[in-house]
Amino acid sequence: MTTTQIHAGDESVIEVTDLRRVYGGEFEAVRGVSFEVGRGELFALLGTNGAGKTSTVELLEGLDRPAGGQVRVLGHDPYTERHLVRPKVGVMLQEGGFPSELTVDETVRMWAGATSGARPGAEALEIVGLAKRGGVRVKMLSGGEKRRLDLALALLGRPEMLFLDEPTTGMDAEGRQDTWDLVRSLRDAGTTVLMTTHYLEEAESLADRLAIMHEGRIAASGTPAEVTAAEPSRISFELPQGYFVGDLPPLDAIGIVGHELTGRTVKLRTQHLQFSATRLLTWAAEQNVELRALDVRSASLEEAFLQIAREARSQDEPGRRAGDRQKEAVA
Ligand SMILES: Nc1ncnc2c1ncn2[C@@H]1O[C@H](COP(=O)(O)OP(=O)(O)OP(=O)(O)O)[C@@H](O)[C@H]1O
């Protein structure tokens, strides 16, 4: 899928049109990105390292003037009308950067002083599960706890719109799950959320819609189901004793677009999972054989992401032959 424009529902909280960002007058980190985020939606921006996610989000936060294109957040230009946008927006940056000698309580108080209509600090700490850590110096917090503190600060102003830049980096599995529950509950309460993440499972679990960036452009976009639907599903099993791959029904006739044999384990890829699996199981029943270690699954977002990244890279290398790309797709 290579959609470059993403449409939100009825009311757009974020509208990005042909956005560009250039560093040092020559390096174009964001090269014509367009998408919309609707009110109450959770939108995830994914991408390879250096794809331009942070560069894009910083423009949405009004930290720089775009080199080209347009950004509207809550109906305003976040750079020239920052004073109108900032009070309604919560931002959790990748690096919080608050003084590490202060305690958690002192940090929250300091931040609340600079936030209009701030909720009580204790309430923000309670929401993120840091209520009992108020007296601890920031430098003594674990990486995951620091991310929770970042989130508490972003929530102080009861934001309509929340920017989360890699919100669960450094958290253990439980902390990550708690943060996911929290982000979901904020979204369910009507907060619009735009997050970047390296964890594809996080995007798959949380995002209503997402975009995958590669080298400054959107390479794929849609709901997690739409993005993964374009990728082949997998069927794997152990070849029954005494059988060879050639004994299976003709693979192209049952919708298989790629196969691999490792020892006796067969891995098949198909765009028509139900059709291929039914034909294969019918064959097994007719042969009266059991397909041991049978595993049938749709593509995960991770597989879709890796494939999109591979395709994007191969398009960057026009000298590569189409056959090479096919081999990679089968692997
Ligand atoms: N201040 C800067 N000056 C020059 N180049 C920059 C600057 N900030 C980022 N870049 C470059 O712009 C590109 C996009 O960077 P950006 O941080 O937006 O990517 P990202 O998708 O957020 O990456 P990551 O997943 O690694 O955080 C990278 O090539 C990066 O090296």
**Closest ligand 1 atom, CA of 213?**
21
Q: What is the token pair recorded at 173?
A: 């599995």
Q: Please tell me if the domain spanning 12-222 has the same topology as the one spanning 232-298.
A: no
Give the pLDDT mean for 62-70: 95
CATH number of 12-222: 3.40.50.300
The CATH architecture to which 232-298 belongs is 2-Layer Sandwich (3.30)
Q: Would you list the DSSP string of 185-225?
A: HHHHTT-EEEEE-S-HHHHHHH-SEEEEEETTEEEEEE-HH
- Give the Å distance between the CA of 54 and the centre of ligand 1: 7
Q: Closest Cα to residue 89, out of 112, 77, 66, 73?
A: 73
Please tell me whether the overall predicted TM-score, pTM, comes out greater than 0.95 for this model.
no
Q: Is residue 22 over pLDDT 80?
A: yes
The residue extents of the domains of the chain are 12-222, 232-298
Distance CA(160)–CA(167), nearest Å, equals 18
Mean pLDDT of 152-157: 92
Output the CA 137–ligand 1 centroid distance in Å: 31
Average the pLDDT over 262-286 and give the result: 95
In three-state secondary structure terms, 23 is: strand
Phi, psi of 290 (to 5 degrees): -100, 135
Q: Which amino acid is at 44?
A: A
CA–centroid distance for 291 within its chain: 35
At residue 90, the 3 state secondary structure works out as: strand
**Alpha helices (runs of H) in the chain, residue ranges in sequence order:** 53-60, 82-85, 104-113, 121-127, 143-155, 173-188, 200-206, 224-229, 273-287, 301-316, 322-330
CA of 181 to the centre of ligand 1 (A): 29
Nearest CA to ligand 1 atom 9: 55
Measured CA to CA, the distance from residue 37 to residue 89 in angstroms comes to: 14
Give, using CA atoms, the residue closest to atom 23 of ligand 1: 50
The best mutation among 28, 53, 196, 212 to test binding of ligand 1, ranked by most ligand atoms within 8 Å of the C-beta, falls on 53
Q: Measuring from each residue's beta carbon to the nearest atom of ligand 1, which residues come in under 6 Å? A: 23-24, 27, 29, 47, 49-55
pLDDT band at 10 (very low <50, low <70, confident <90, very high): low
- Ligand 1 atom with the smallest distance to the CA of 58 is 18
Residue 323 is predicted with a pLDDT of 39
